[in-house]
Amino acid sequence: MIPRILLAVTAIFAALPNLNSAEPVSTTKPAATQKVTVGGGCFWCVEAVLQRVNGVKKVVSGYSGGHVPNPTYEQVCTKLTGHAEVAQVEFDPAVVKLDALLDVFFAAHDPTTPNQQGADKGPQYRSVIYYANDEQKKAADAAKERAKKEWGATIVTEISPLKEFYAAEAYHQNYFNLNKNRNPYCSAVIAPKLHKLIEKGIIKE
């Protein structure tokens, strides 16, 4: 009986890992991504710019800031729903800080003109940052102050809490990358903007 017990105990210990030689277990959790929602004209442009920022994981074009649930693009274009065309940006704060991301946002559009970006006119094209928490609000306020110094003018960018985000229709997603050789708007408006920002080292190719 005793030999059997000894054999069983020996087998149990043999199955256990060697604690002296085992690799240390990391207690560090992977950095969680964050999301911020911004609008600065046509969401095709905003999406294309922010997709080219290191640390950005995903950009979804959509609508925020209105009073009509689940709006369609056609409804938003009537200027009656209250929504802005926006891009919801998922990013890794270990790679790109929100401050830097917002600086790119302000460099990529005109935040001094209300409800207009170039030929695109209407409240849906307003400059806006929808924040998810107090930390994002502080970052947005600080970025707006930096933009004021950079532009030397009053910044009209709205800074408001995010209440809802509705993803736009599928054909709006990843628009420039899929349509840059098919839609004249891409070649006439978006491509030159990207080229300018790439030349300045603000975004990657």
- To the query of whether residue 42 is one of the catalytic residues in this protein, the response is yes
Buried b (16+ CB within 10 A) or exposed e, 16-50: eeeeeeeeeeeeeeeeebbebbbbbbbbbbbbbbb
Length of the chain: 205
Tokens describing residue 199: 């030349």
H or E element: which one contains 194? helix 191-199
Residue from 177, 178, 173, 158 nearest 73 by CA: 173
Q: Which amino acid is at 14?
A: A
Q: How far apart are CA 202 and CA 205, in angstroms?
A: 10
Q: Residues 42, 45, 77, 186: which is the catalytic one?
A: 42
Q: Is 75 helix (H, G, I), strand (E, B) or coil?
A: helix
Active site residues: 42
